[in-house]
Structure formats: structure tokens, C-alpha cells
Structure 1
Amino acid sequence: MKYYIIFLLSIGLSSCSKFLELKPDQNMEIPSTLADCELLLNDFTAMNASYAVMPIMMGEEFYFHTEDWQTIVDMDERMGYIWSDEPVIGSLNWQGPYKTIYVCNQIFAIYNKLSEQDKSSEQGKQILGNAHFFRAFAYQQLLELYTLPYDPVTASNELGLPLKLTPDVVPAEGRASLAATYDQVVQDYKEAISLLKPTSIAKSRPTKGAAQAGLSRLYLDMHDYENAYLYADSAWNMQPTLIEYNTLDPYDEMAIPKNNQEIYFTALTGYSESISPFSNRINPDLIDLYETDDLRKSIYFQDNDFDPGTYGYKTNYDQSYIGTFIGLTTSEILLIRSEAAARTGKSPIALAGINLLRQHRFAPENFQEVHWGNAILLQEILKERRKELVFRGRRWVDVKRLNQEAATQRTLTRTVDGQSYQLAPGSLKFAALIPQLVTQLNPTIEQNKR
């Protein structure tokens, strides 16, 4: 892209502090207009498709046999699968979201120098709203991988992320607290909600509903169920649509349509050969959750010819073999709304939401309403999350937050080459190690404890 400038944020590869005055090529125009901002936002790879794949690798949705694990080329992924304490060599899981943040900060700097007429224009407001959304979403992805689960009692004393809010390439000084980092994401999402319109030019660009959905996802991780419900309800009312799975072809390897009506916002991880379709085996306890007539089983999975009796994951919400879809959808928001409702004494709303989702996941002749009582309602909703949000980057985050509650704690276990590896509730390993290159080049960034 014409205005692209190579950048590694927060790891100290440059000490320059006046980015907008730099010209790597004297023939290159410095970005300075709303049109330039649009071009920056149109970089799909930088803004939508460079998020961390490691949360999916470290989750519990699939497993490898020893011989398959040993063939994983990316050593960070191989070690991440067993939650190893080996130093992380590659930096893409960190660098990708921080590059998105950098572009957003560049847009803010351009916007601040615009005329008042351009700032107050509809285009100006939408660009500003986009920048707030993308920065919030990118920091949220980093929080999910590199910090411990949020606890409102201890968050002010826990390590968050390096907060970089300006476009210069001076490294951030240290890490903000976990509370301060979450507060920044909340603030950015709320700014986006106030500026964005209900519709956008493409699924790669956020809407007001997408910002509400992102904030509801964040509040769920913060155990703020009142706000999680409030924003999920608002997002759902902005886009109350679900795919009728009985209209999809279960024999299609990519049965879920691209840019479908459930998507608020499209985001993808970077490429990983390890978790590409058909390259792994789905955990049997996940497969066992599906009822016989649940269409999700045939839409999401297919028999592995290379290993009869096992299943491989075959589709995603972007029809992509390059990255895994981790964006925001109405099905996820309906689940957040139902869970938050169940946790805040709104059981009828919780149950109605789950029945609406299930109605769209069964053929009409096979659908039966569920009437779960309060004693099992939350437990069953959490099962629906597992069944619905497969390979969407949610399981790792769910295990992190649910392991803070005795009733929903779960120890993850993997066996490789005869050796068993476990990830127990309360483990410091729920905050992945920051890449070695980052901490070496910016020693103010404290490594996660082990």
C-alpha cells in the first residue's frame, strides 16, 4: 500500500519520535487527508487478518497424535500446544495486533490535524469511529493471550499491556496495569459506539452493533454481567438475524456463507498449518455434546478418512483456508446475552435466547424447545457456547474466565509421546509468554511470571 511504513511497535527497533515528518522515500506523500485514512483502513491484512492464532492452539477443541505434533514446523506452536515454558521465538502473535494499533494511532494523528469541517463531516466521524474500534479490538486480542484472567479485586495490581496511544515509534515504557488496560479498551469501544453508524460498507469495517458486541464480549471476560447483558442486548437488537442451518449443505466443505447475515465484523488469525481444516482431530468430549439431530455437527465437522472414528473441523465463517475466523457474530452475542441474563436473574430471557439459537440449528421437524430450570440453566448455556463457537478463538478465553469459579473449573490435559501435560485452574500459564525479541529489545516490558 502506498502509505505503508514497516513497523514493529513496542520492541524498540527505532527511536524516532516524529513519524509524520519521516519520508523513507522522498517521492512518498505523507498521509494527511481523510482519503489517506480510508486507504489505511482498507489494508485488510493489517487491520483484519493478523491476529494471534495461539489461543486456538492452546485451547481444548482438538488434539494431535505424537507423530503429528512432532511434524509441526513452527516451534512456538508446537510448544504452545503443551503450554511449555520454553521462550517464545516468533513475534507475529504480538506484532500483528500492535501493528493494527499503530495504524489506528496514525489515523488519530492525521485526524487531529484536519480542518474542523473535515473533522465534523460524516466521513471524519466514521473514520474516527473505525480507529477507536480497531484499537479496542486489537488490544482485546492481546489481553486474551498475554494477560491473566481479569479479577476486579486484583486487576489494579496485575500486569496488563504496554499502552501505546501515539503514532511515534518510541517504545512504550513498561506495562500498564490490567485494570488500566481494560479501561482503555472500554473507552475506545464506547467512543466507537458513539460515532459509528448501524451499517458499514463491508463486513471488514465495524458498525455500531459491532462495537457493542465487542464491548459485551469484554464485559463478559470482566465478570461484569449487567453490562455484558446491556451491550449484548443492544447489539442483538441492531442485527437480530441468524442463519437457518437447515438451508446449508452439510456435504459442502465450506457450508457457511462468506459475509453472511450473522457477521457484525470480520477478523481472522494469521495462517497456521497446524490448525488448518482437516489437519487435526476434534476432542471426543466436544463431539459427544451434540445431539443426534443437531445440524452443527455435520456443518462443522466431517469424518477423518486418514483416521476413521475421528472428526476434523472443516469450515469457518469466512470460508478461509488462510486464517481462522475470530470476528463478532450474532450467534455469539445471543449466547453472551443468555449467559449474562442467567447470571443476573433474567432466566426467561436466557432461555428464550437459547431456544431461538437452537431453533436455527435444527431442522424444523427435529427442533424441540428446552425448558431448563435454574439449577442447570447456566451449565447448559455454557455447553451451547462450546457447541456453537468452535474454532472461533472463544474456548481458550472461556476456560480462563470460567476457571475463576469453582463450579466451572476445568483442568486441560494433553498427552504427547507418552508424557502428560496439564493446565490447571489458577496457572500462571494462562498468560502466554511475551516473545523473547520483545523483552530483549525493550527491557522495560516485564515478562509474564512462571
Structure 2
Amino acid sequence: MKNIKIAILLLVLISISSCDDFLSEVPDNRTQIDTPEKISELLVYSIPEASYMDIAETMSDNVGDGELSNIARKNEQSYNWEMHDQTDIDTEANYWDACYKAIAHANQALRSIEELGSPANLNPQKGEALLARAYSHFMLVSLWSNRYNPATAATDLGVPYVTEPETVLLKQYKRNSVKEVFDFIQRDIEEGLPYVTNDYAEPKFHFNKEAAKAFASRFYLIKGDWDKVLEVSDGLGSKPDKKLKDYATLSTLAPDIQFVEYGKSSYTSNLLIASPNTLIGRSASSSNFYLNNDKQNEIFDSSNPFGKTWYFDFYSYNSSRTLFTPKFEEYFKYTNISAGIGEPYCGIVLLSNDEFYLNRIEALVMKGRIAEANTELVFFLGTRTIGYNEATDVLTTEDFMFLYPEIENELTPFYDMTSEQTSYVKAILEARRRDFVHEGLRWFDVKRFNIVVEHETFGKPTNTLVKDDKRRALQIPISASNYGIEKNPR
């Protein structure tokens, strides 16, 4: 009996001890983010670990039918502005989820900073988290909502703007209006900009100072706030040749070297780099609807305003009708070497001085500073032209108006433009289209200027994306709409 009593007593003591240990643990067993080092590590994941580029590029007017025998389902659906019915790599649902995961990391970092008393030494992390949160929401609203128009933004459906860490399972969210989303983005940008720093071991993989300004310039350009674009881009200066991508040198390299060089962090022109899980490096060989011969000629071969040749190089796989310029170096991370199983990753440039500079030139045009815009745009075009001679290769306003004439109802932004401004903006849009081919930026210009896009498929009628077509806003992924996120009208 004595032995039994001792055993029962020990059991009670063990139970009490176990109960205390259990009650002392965090209910959901998540890691406590309670040091500056942990916050910095968390922010590594505040940039989406997926890519929008293949989706956006295929919806734009940069692509055509390559007439390949095998057609990837998601590639065909993007080409026809249809909702993806898959959720794997490089799909709409995949990018949606990646953006909200990145936002969750940024929100947890901000909460942890607040719980630590918001000390000044954590201001750089706070700035990075705010910019990262703004960026992911901006990409979401740019893809899944109507284009920004102040006349309709208060009633247009935006996306849920999430500002708190996830603390409950399957929390319900509602869509903010486009105006609300843009207001939140602007608040985060303007609060975060003064705090961001370049003090990182690898600054190009974080929202460093110049990357933050470049993103801000993209945002303000969409809003039509030309003064803000000029303010954040003032540090670029005039004719910033050392800050732009050096195509004269790139074009001398073999394509396998160009793949690596294009996205290197050592280039001054590259401001923010990511390494998402994506197959975009294989698009030219596996996507039927890609840059084909006709589109390559339209965008590059017949468009040099100096009557010369562009530096851009193009190649094809196995004499395919789809072409590529080397930009994406794939890294395949094996999870099982014996079985040959793993995941593909690519280094991609999310923000660059090249886009930053074009944003500034466009703002100069819209502010009526035509002489300055002319100087900068001619210089930019010259850096992409073989044999450019600054003394003799001159373009006047009359030249731009002749080469890029105003066509009625072609560009229809929410604001008015003069004929002179229209011609310069068309030239800038074409410059951006060339520089960022394969990278998806053309789609955002298609949306904000309401450009009509025609997609031809061999043996089928032409599919036309008319102005204000509802398909310009991607449909909300099923995984989100099933939990109460309102769908876009169709």
C-alpha cells in the first residue's frame, strides 16, 4: 500500500509539472520574434517568393502564337485572359498566396518592433517592413483590380489591405476599395521611406534606399502625382550613364554569361533583386505564347528612332518560333538528387534604375518640362543603340511627334495629355516595353493607358481585349473566394 501511495504522489507531481510546462508555452507554438536579429531574419521573407512576370507578360501585347506542338494550360489561359485553374508554380493563385505570405511576415515584424517598444535602432527594420507591405499590396491591387482612376477608385473593388499578423485560423477578410488600398500604400511608403537604409550585408535583396524610391516612383506614376515622382527621383541627376544597365558591354557577352550578368547584385542599375520559385527561365522553350518572330520585329527590329540597331540580342531554342533575350538564370535546388526531384529558382530584378529613370522622364513630360525630358529621353535611347553618336543623333520634339504620332483613342489614361505629351509618352512606353520584355511591366502600362490588345492564335479568331474590358482585372483565386473574398464581375 505504501508503494502505491508513493506512485500516486509521483504521478500527481509529474502531472502538475507537465501542466505548468504546457501552460508556459505559446498556444500556437510559433517562434517568438523578440530580438532585432530575429526581426531582420523574418524580413528576408517579406518579398513574395513567387513571380508575377510570366502571368503579366503573357497577358500583354508583347507575345504571340509560337505554333508549338505542346501548349501549357496556364500559358494559354493567360494569353486568353482566362482564370488559371491550376495553383502550382507561376499561377495566379500561387502569386496571390505568396504576396499575402510576404505581407504576413512584414506585419509580424512590425508587431514585434512595437512590442519591443519601437526603439530607434529598429527603425531600418520598420522602414523595410512598411515598404515591403506596401509593395505586395501594390502588386495585388495592380493585378486583381481595375486600373487606378480617382473618379471611380472609391467604389472600385481593391484587395484586402492586411495590417495585422495572423492570429486566428481562416480569418475572414473583405476587399478594400482601390482608393483605400492606394491610401494605405501611400501611408506605408511615406512612413517607411525616411527609415530605410543601405546597411545590409546584401542590400540589393532588401528594400534599400534607392529601391524604396524607385518603388515610390512607380506608385506615384500610377497615381499621376508627377511632383512626387520628380521628388523621389531627383538623386538620379541628368544623363546618369553609370547608373543604367550597360547594354554595350552586355551585348558582347555569350548568352550563357548574359543570363548570369543581367540580374547580378553588383550592377548599380539593379536596385531590388529576388530569387523566387519560378520557371520563367524556361518560358522561351516551354511557352507557346511568348515573344515570337512577328512581335520581336514589331518591338525591336523596326523601331529605332535613329535608324540604327538596338543592342538587344535574341536567341531561340531548337529553331523555335519563340525568342528570348537572356535575363533569367535558373538555379535548380534538389530535394532528392537520386530521384532528380527539386524546385527551380530564378534571380529576377524587381526594381531598377532603368525603370526609375524612365518614370522620371515621363513625369517631366507631364509637368510640361519638355526640353529636359527630350534631353534625358534621347540620352536613354542612345544607351541602347549601336553606334549612337551624341553629336549627330539628335531628336527634336517635331521628330518625336512624327515618329510617335498621336492616334485618337489609342492611349486613354484618366488624365488629359496634349498632342506633344502624347508623342513623348508613346516613346517612353515603347522604351519601357523594350527594356523590360519578358518581365511583365508592359502589362501595367497596358492597364493604366487602357491599351487595346489583340491576341492571335493559329486557326482561331482573334481574341481582343477592348478598353475597360473586365478581364483586365484578374479573377480572385478560388482559394480566396471560397473564404468570402468577393469575386470580380465578369
Residues 270 and 324, structure 1, Cα contact 8 Å, conserved in 2: no
Residues 88 and 434, structure 1, Cα contact 8 Å, conserved in 2: no
CA displacement 1:185-208 (0-9 Å, x = unmatched): 111111221101256432111122
Provide the C-alpha distance between the structure 2 equivalents of 1:336 and 1:414, rounded to a whole number of angstroms: 31
Match of 2:364 among 332, 341, 347: 341
Instruction: Note the C-alpha offset of 1:357.
Output: 1.7
Provide the C-alpha distance between the structure 1 equivalents of 2:235 and 2:192, rounded to a whole number of angstroms: 14
The answer as to 2:270 corresponding to 1:272 is no
TM-score normalised to structure 1 length? 0.82
Q: Give the match for residue 371 of structure 1.
A: 396
After TM superposition, the structure 1 stretch with the greater mean CA deviation from structure 2, 80-89 or 348-357, is 80-89
Q: Give the match for residue 306 of structure 1.
A: 319
Q: Give the match for residue 427 of structure 1.
A: 469
Secondary structure at the residue paired with 2:348? coil
Provide the C-alpha distance between the structure 1 equivalents of 2:124 and 2:84, rounded to a whole number of angstroms: 43
Instruction: Note the C-alpha offset of 1:184.
Output: 1.0
Provide the C-alpha distance between the structure 2 equivalents of 1:216 and 1:49, rounded to a whole number of angstroms: 23
Q: Give the match for residue 107 of structure 1.
A: 109
Cα root mean square deviation, aligned: 2.8
1:416/1:147 CA distance change after superposition, 3 Å: farther
Q: Give the match for residue 165 of structure 1.
A: 163
- Code of the residue aligned with 2:256 in structure 1: it is E
The 5 A counterparts of 1:62-101 are 62-68=63-69, 70-72=70-72, 75-84=73-82, 91-101=93-103
- Code of the residue aligned with 1:315 in structure 2: it is P
After TM superposition, the structure 1 stretch with the greater mean CA deviation from structure 2, 319-328 or 149-158, is 319-328
Instruction: Note the C-alpha offset of 1:416.
Output: 4.9
Instruction: Note the C-alpha offset of 1:364.
Output: 5.3
Q: Give the match for residue 187 of structure 2.
A: 187
Residues 289 and 387, structure 1, Cα contact 8 Å, conserved in 2: no
Q: Give the match for residue 132 of structure 1.
A: 130
After TM superposition, the structure 1 stretch with the greater mean CA deviation from structure 2, 166-175 or 256-265, is 166-175
The 5 A counterparts of 1:247-396 are 247-248=249-250, 249-255=252-258, 256-257=261-262, 258-259=264-265, 260-267=267-274, 270-272=277-279, 276-279=283-286, 280-282=290-292, 283=295, 284-291=297-304, 293-298=308-313, 301-303=314-316, 305-307=318-320, 310=321, 312-316=323-327, 319-320=329-330, 322-323=345-346, 325-363=348-386, 368-373=393-398, 375=420, 376-396=423-443
Provide the C-alpha distance between the structure 2 equivalents of 1:168 and 1:102, rounded to a whole number of angstroms: 7
The 5 A counterparts of 1:198-213 are 200-202=200-202, 203-213=204-214
Residues 209 and 234, structure 1, Cα contact 8 Å, conserved in 2: no
Instruction: Note the C-alpha offset of 1:86.
Output: 6.8
Residues 197 and 209, structure 2, Cα contact 8 Å, conserved in 1: yes
Identity of aligned residues (%): 21
Secondary structure at the residue paired with 1:190? helix
CA displacement 1:20-56 (0-9 Å, x = unmatched): 94444xxx7422111111111234xx62532434212
Secondary structure at the residue paired with 2:463? strand
Instruction: Note the C-alpha offset of 1:319.
Output: 3.8
Secondary structure at the residue paired with 1:84? coil
Aligned pairs, number: 406
Q: Give the match for residue 231 of structure 2.
A: 230
Provide the C-alpha distance between the structure 2 equivalents of 1:168 and 1:86, rounded to a whole number of angstroms: 27
Q: Give the match for residue 16 of structure 2.
A: none
Secondary structure at the residue paired with 1:156? coil
Instruction: Note the C-alpha offset of 1:439.
Output: 0.7
Residues 229 and 363, structure 2, Cα contact 8 Å, conserved in 1: yes
**Larger Rg, first or second structure (1 or 2):** 2
- Code of the residue aligned with 1:104 in structure 2: it is A
Unpaired runs of at least 5, structure 1: 1-19, 404-408
1:21/1:167 CA distance change after superposition, 3 Å: farther
- Code of the residue aligned with 2:324 in structure 1: it is Y
Provide the C-alpha distance between the structure 1 equivalents of 2:123 and 2:195, rounded to a whole number of angstroms: 6
- Code of the residue aligned with 1:271 in structure 2: it is T
Residues 48 and 204, structure 1, Cα contact 8 Å, conserved in 2: no
Provide the C-alpha distance between the structure 2 equivalents of 1:200 and 1:429, rounded to a whole number of angstroms: 41
Provide the C-alpha distance between the structure 2 equivalents of 1:155 and 1:272, rounded to a whole number of angstroms: 34
- Code of the residue aligned with 1:313 in structure 2: it is F
1:177/1:314 CA distance change after superposition, 3 Å: same
Match of 2:244 among 242, 245, 268: 242
Provide the C-alpha distance between the structure 2 equivalents of 1:208 and 1:226, rounded to a whole number of angstroms: 19
CA displacement 1:143-201 (0-9 Å, x = unmatched): 22101111011100100111111102442431001000011111111122110125643
CA displacement 1:355-407 (0-9 Å, x = unmatched): 2323322345556232234633232222212122212221000000111xxxx
Residues 102 and 136, structure 2, Cα contact 8 Å, conserved in 1: yes
Provide the C-alpha distance between the structure 1 equivalents of 2:222 and 2:309, rounded to a whole number of angstroms: 28
Q: Give the match for residue 196 of structure 1.
A: 196
Provide the C-alpha distance between the structure 2 equivalents of 1:395 and 1:146, rounded to a whole number of angstroms: 16
